[in-house]
Chain A
């Protein structure tokens, strides 16, 4: 075979027609056989066919999961596009004719304006970062939270940011977070045996977890042997090796139903709200229990985060919510990126002294300005669905900063956090580049699906500190707040110089971008000594 040229040899009108009929699914049996004859005998037809079908495939690929908004918009504007063929336009013809002169003038003006003002194309392709799309078949993303150790024989990708297919996770120790595609979020503590079942569903065979439906109004299901829970809020679930099951509802409501052996719900269920119950699967009974917040304290972070970057132009309908990076770039159509963060503050207790967002740049193409603005309708988007086309409108810019190195970026948002705490306890931000700068002017930040030390953080300093005990052995911490003073993984080293149990004033500590509350007298924070 000759080496194929990028500009393909021309083919005749019959081949065009046959291939087009085949693509649109209107080809008859006879046309299909005719096309086969051409394909068998003529290399240039094969090349044309492959190139044309590849174009068809790219158009399909780009619109997988396309939003309704663009579709509705298309329905409105296309009537004008296909005017000569539509009866609708015929009825408006007089109006069109009368407007023609004005349209011509405007079009001419627009062409002149665009010719003058549009920048010439540069090497943006090579200069613009790309993010991966979620693979087909995956239903959730695994987020490594606290030194997870997996049981021997646990198969599948187990690192931070791994896309999960339906399957079993056997966690020996530590904590992992599982972000389901439909917005459900689970923090699972080892030892645990958990099945990732579907985009909105899991099965706890053994162990302890907290589950939260992160999209208001959407349900998330977690089964246990003999029971199923429909979660519209936040709850803790426990199923131990003796078959003892408990559900503790911390926020919203959870419907718990007994199930048969196949998992189908049986009569006798209960709606549980701000209460707890022990479930006896064999008797199908619920016994009231006091809510045990302490038992689930490690699995209830003070602040939860979702994040996603969106890209314009040809990528405007694609979702990058599961990508391990966030991107900010302001360039010509097709090459601009913005990033959206949303903090769920429902775990924040008491008044705050100050709050700041910390972003970790991973790559800076060129020094550039980035800005943050609040997003008003912050429930209107989800991490696994937001695209450039569906991104929410933002309000006034809060702050602007210059990024020129990989040093962490930190900006205060105390007032915005206070307002969110007084409202729906959600704070969403748009991170963007206010000024167009082409070429390699972009910043890549770490996302929550990436390296735990590089995730976006909301650092909250509480107004009132609580005394807790620290023990000088155990795991290494990431960052935290000591008596109102922020510290990072280096900052904790001073504690290691003292061999005695330590005591500090603090209400929470942060690890792997999450803030965990510390409760007075019953919480022990263990710290690794540097010389261990």
Chain B
């Protein structure tokens, strides 16, 4: 393949797959700040190594392999801190499960859009605010006159509602 075409193929694949790569990182590091840091590092590593990308290979698998290395580097670098994370052997198991669930996750992602559309507007906006990461949960709870625990409970309830909605929609489609 010509270098220009290889480059184009890389950019196209990267653009299409960024959310999958980010999700891979979050699966291993659920904290947003940690995931963002590792995702930035992974993106830079991918941009630096695009010439090594073989267009005949599965891009997401290749990129997630790089992301996995960055996650492990991150965990070793921050080994002494208080936030708990999964051990590396479990991360490998989870990573493998994630790659095998690729098609399932694609279906669930499509269903998520519909389920978000079914949430009440205020619930959707609460989720967006909490997930935007601009303010802490404590700050948002204070603004709303809530205790942080009550807000955590609300978020749990909304995530569970979405998770169940996705499962129901997929089950319905499979039943058709």
Q: Determine whether the beta carbon of B18 is less than 8 Å from that of A56.
A: no
A-B CB pair tally, cutoff 8 Å: 228
Within the assembled complex, what's the spacing in Å between the Cα atoms of A5 and B47? 34
Within the assembled complex, what's the spacing in Å between the Cα atoms of A165 and B8? 15
Closest chain-A Cβ to B170's Cβ sits at a distance in Å of: 4
With an 8 A cutoff between CB atoms, is B66 at the interface? no
Partner of B90, one of A20, A36, A334: A36
Closest chain-B Cβ to A176's Cβ sits at a distance in Å of: 16
Q: Determine whether the beta carbon of A137 is less than 8 Å from that of B94.
A: no
Closest chain-B Cβ to A168's Cβ sits at a distance in Å of: 14
Chain A neighbourhood of B128, CB < 8 A: 62-63, 66, 70-71, 74, 317
With an 8 A cutoff between CB atoms, is B144 at the interface? yes
Chain B neighbourhood of A24, CB < 8 A: 137, 152, 155-156
With an 8 A cutoff between CB atoms, is A122 at the interface? no
CB-nearest residue of chain B to A134: B15
**Residues of chain A at interface, number, CB under 8 A:** 75
Q: Is the interface of B mostly helix, strand, loop or mixed?
A: helix
With an 8 A cutoff between CB atoms, is B73 at the interface? no
Q: With A7-B174, A8-B167, A71-B128 given, is the CB distance from A135 to B30 under 8 Å?
A: no
Closest chain-B Cβ to A358's Cβ sits at a distance in Å of: 28
Chain A neighbourhood of B43, CB < 8 A: 135-137
Q: With A32-B85, A86-B144, A159-B4 given, is the CB distance from A58 to B134 under 8 Å?
A: no
Within the assembled complex, what's the spacing in Å between the Cα atoms of A434 and B126? 31
With an 8 A cutoff between CB atoms, is A12 at the interface? no
Chain B neighbourhood of A137, CB < 8 A: 40, 43-44, 47
Closest chain-B Cβ to A311's Cβ sits at a distance in Å of: 11
Q: Render A10-42 as a binary contact track against B, CB cut-off 8 A, 1 for contact.
A: 000000100010111111110110011001100
Partner of B108, one of A32, A55, A135: A55
Chain A neighbourhood of B131, CB < 8 A: 59-60, 62-63, 66
Most B CB within 10 A of own CB, among A32, A43, A60, A314: A60
Most A CB within 10 A of own CB, among B31, B146, B155: B146
Q: With A4-B101, A54-B23, A70-B125 given, is the CB distance from A135 to B18 under 8 Å?
A: yes
Closest chain-B Cβ to A506's Cβ sits at a distance in Å of: 36
Give 6 nearest A-B pairs by CB, closest first: A66-B132, A57-B26, A57-B23, A74-B125, A77-B122, A88-B145
Residue contacts A-B, CB under 8 angstroms, 5 given: A46-B93, A49-B97, A71-B125, A85-B147, A136-B43
Q: A36-B90, A55-B162, A334-B117 are in contact. List 11 more A-B contacts (CB 8 A).
A: A8-B167, A24-B155, A26-B152, A39-B90, A39-B93, A47-B101, A53-B30, A54-B98, A58-B112, A70-B132, A317-B128
Residues of chain B having any CB pair with chain A under 8 Å: 4, 7-8, 11, 14-16, 18-19, 22-23, 25-27, 30-32, 35, 39-40, 43-44, 47, 83-87, 89-90, 93-94, 97-98, 100-101, 103-105, 107-110, 112-114, 116-117, 120-123, 125-129, 131-135, 137, 140, 143-147, 150-156, 159-160, 162-163, 166-167, 170-171, 173-174
